[in-house]
Amino acid sequence: MINFNYETDFKLESEEQISKWITDAIASEEYKLEEINYVFCDDDYLHKLNVEFLKHDTLTDIISFDYSVGKIIQGDIFISVERVADNAKDFGVSIEEELYRVMIHGVLHYCGYKDKTDDDAKEMRAKENHYLSQLV
């Protein structure tokens, strides 16, 4: 089950389609979805979580808490819609594309992908692009 929660006045337009897309991506990676809670918020909300839980006094676009066990995916993904909009401008892409990239990025972390090294980041970006191409 995928739940969409809003702590700001933003709202996804096609929750059902996006939910199916994420569920299909998880199945493609040979994992099973238990539950993911997406929480869309603003910079202040996410900054407080970043400081409190990760001890990072910086703005970020996404924080994910992974409660997965083995191949069973569970977690909470917090996304700053403000940060995504700013990043979309910086990267020269639509807000929707950047938002979907961030949404699938969190899921790919749950599926075991990392992005700390250059090689890992390249693999993560390739997977993001693969799944983004399936949404359009």
Indicate the annotated binding residues for Zn(2+). Answer: 105, 109, 115
List binding-site positions. 105, 109, 115
97 class by beta-carbon count within 10 Å (0-12 exposed, 13-18 middle, 19+ buried): middle
**Per DSSP, what are the bridge partners of residue 61?**
none
Rounded CA gap, 101 and 30, in Å?
A: 20
27 class by beta-carbon count within 10 Å (0-12 exposed, 13-18 middle, 19+ buried): exposed
60 class by beta-carbon count within 10 Å (0-12 exposed, 13-18 middle, 19+ buried): middle
